[in-house]
């Protein structure tokens, strides 16, 4: 997929959304994430919409989709390696593995996140199955609320959770986007990418 059309966002009074064209800067080394020394926001245009990333010295605290692309203050250069990693995810859904996350949650939510990270790329699980994996088979609704409150889209793969009847269920950023993300991961798995 040619990503050039997805590189730049609209200009805003508060700053620039979208960031510089990476062709002029070269690509980052995969696996190298430079974190800023203070909390900053950056954004990148992806094949499924504008993504805004918030990160600080301890890690990434938020990755979210925003439609329509809004105006947010950004320091694009300070977060370039993080937004590059998000954009790389669309070619390789394993590219965010090991991304430091700085979004404090309860012990239960930490366990749910860990279980989500075990769901292979291109696969899905159900809320009930996640609850069983956690040793809490009656907690599927609590798992669902926790999955739905995930502030770090794609890095914590909440889009891989579907209903027990196989229907997609909900997604904070829209069911259509969830289905597209699942399709991208399935395509990656079928072309032999790592899972």
DSSP letter assigned to residue 6: G
Give dist(CA 17, CA 21) in Å, integer.
12
For strand 49-56 and strand 59-66, is the pairing parallel, antiparallel, or unpaired?
Answer: antiparallel
**Residue 150 phi, psi dihedral angles, 5° rounding:** -60, 120
What are the DSSP calls for 34-68, one per residue?
PPPSS-EEEEEEETTEEEEEEEETTEEEEEEEESS
Active-site choice (12, 71, 158, 163): 158
What are the DSSP calls for 93-135, one per residue?
TTTTTT--B-----HHHHHHHHHHHTSPTT--EEHHHHHHHTT
Is 158 catalytic? The answer is yes
Among candidate residues 163, 136, 138, 133, the one with its CA nearest the CA of residue 148: 163
Catalytic residues: 158
């Amino acid at each position: 997929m040619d990503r050039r059309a997805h590189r730049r966002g609209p200009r805003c009074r508060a700053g620039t959304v979208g960031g510089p064209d990476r062709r002029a800067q070269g690509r980052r080394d995969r696996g190298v994430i430079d974190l800023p020394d203070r909390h900053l926001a950056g954004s990148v245009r992806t094949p499924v919409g504008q993504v805004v990333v918030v990160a600080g010295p301890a890690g990434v605290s938020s990755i979210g989709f925003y439609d329509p692309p809004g105006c947010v203050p950004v320091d694009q250069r300070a977060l370039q390696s993080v937004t590059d990693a998000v954009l790389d995810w669309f070619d390789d859904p394993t590219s965010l593995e090991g991304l430091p996350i700085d979004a404090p949650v309860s012990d239960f939510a930490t366990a749910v996140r860990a279980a989500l990270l075990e769901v292979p790329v291109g696969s899905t699980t159900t809320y009930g199955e996640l609850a069983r994996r956690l040793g809490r088979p009656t907690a599927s609704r609590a798992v669902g609320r926790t999955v739905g409150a995930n502030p770090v889209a794609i890095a914590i793969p909440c889009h891989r959770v579907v209903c027990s009847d196989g229907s997609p269920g909900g997604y904070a950023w829209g069911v259509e986007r969830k289905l597209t993300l699942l399709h991208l991961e399935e395509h990656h798995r079928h072309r032999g990418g790592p899972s």
